[in-house]
Amino acid sequence: MRSLFFFIFLLSIFSCQEQVKVKQGVKDQKQLTISTEKKRTTPSLKTNNATPTLKTVFVQAKSGLVFRSAPHPDSSKLGVFDFGTKLHVVQETNIPLVIKEKEQTISGQWLKVKSRSARQENNNFYRDQFYFSGFVFSGFVADSSNVDFTQIPIFYEDISYEKMKWPIEKKERTDLQFSEITFKEFKNYQSNYKTGVLLDSTKETRPGSYFIIPTQTHQFKFSCGADFTYCHYYKGYVEALHSHVISMVGSGVEMVYLINKKNNQLYPLATPFDNGCEAPRISKSGDLFIAFASNVFHKEAFISFYKKDKKTKAFDLINYESFLTDEWRILDLVWVDDQSFALSVYEERSWNKSTDKEEIIGLRYLLVHF
């Protein structure tokens, strides 16, 4: 049931409109020679999703590729497909076109294409549940067999949505033993533990923009809507997992997932709440990790335990064990050793109007053995 919920949530995010700003100064490719001209037609900017597709190509022009209302250089300019945009070819017109650019002659034809990603005259970038459609020059696109994805940034969902691996709960842990500790003891444990999460301030979430994450085979774009709807947030890189941690927020729901930099596999981290969990905490030995979340609406906390597969010596990122409580929420978690970790927990947060600051109520510290 949880997997179905995540599937519906992810599908809604990937299909809904996002506005993303891109660099100014888009180059309007000048078509210099055309050998034949057919009667012009003006297709709709958005077309039905069911239009048959001949093949898939990606935009190679770094300054963007203009798409027009008809297969002619003087037809109306409908917008621009950004560098790396995935295009579905719905018609090869066989109308030849020759372009001279920087003393180079490029030969090709007009293609009718559609894509969910486009830039229009106001230079805003859109991702829509419908397709933007128009005619482009084939000399500035290439199919996937001729594309170097380490150099061309594309939206992750354009090729890797099928790589989603949903978490599976194996059992609920009942062996956890809790004891109170002092603030000083917790700070001592905290000072002797490093999370292993590498942050990167350059991967900033801004409305109407996107950040790029490189893997061994691709550069992936993660966007944020102009009004902060359906946004991605970068939560760091975990070397022990060979994975980037991404938070995706939309329609009042958050999902946090790992993207493996070696195979581009996507692993959502388990949580029963509408809000996502924190970045994984790796144990000192590197054989275990914990992800935790606190319910923002009720006094609840959830902890998921992941461990390495004994045969492969790699982390099993699908199967996990869980612990759920309604006695407190979690502020922070640090490992003490492979059989224990320390928690700072609280009951609720409130806003003090007189000091204009947030207050944490019921803060205390726990040592957990298992």
> pLDDT by residue (tens digit) across 73-126?
999 998 888 888 889 999 999 999 998 877 889 999 999 999 877 776 555 555
Pair 144, 328: CB distance under 8 Å: no
Residue-wise pLDDT tens digits, 133-186: 999 999 999 988 888 888 888 877 665 556 688 999 999 999 999 999 999 999
State which amino acid sits at residue 24: Q
In the DSSP assignment, the letter for residue 121 is T
Burial of 212 (0-12, 13-18, 19+ CB in 10 A): middle
Pair 9, 15: CB distance under 8 Å: no
- Taking all residues of the chain, what is their mean pLDDT, rounded to a whole number? 83
| pLDDT for position 16 | 41
Q: Predicted confidence band at 45 (pLDDT cuts at 50, 70, 90)? A: very low
Q: Is a pLDDT exceeding 80 seen at residue 369?
A: yes
User: Between the CA of residue 277 and those of 64, 280, 293, 347, 369, what are the distances in Å?
Assistant: 37, 8, 4, 17, 21
Q: Is a pLDDT exceeding 70 seen at residue 224?
A: yes
Q: Tabulate helix, strand, coil % of the chain (nearest 5).
A: 10, 50, 40
Cα separation, 268 vs 239, in Å, equals 17
Which of 24-33, 113-122, 300-309 holds the top average pLDDT? Answer: 300-309
Cβ atoms within 10 Å of 148's Cβ, excluding its own:
11
Q: What residues contact residue 304 under an 8 Å CB cut-off, 6+ apart?
A: 167, 269, 270, 271, 277, 290, 291, 292, 320, 321, 322
Q: Which H or E run contains 2?
A: helix 2-15
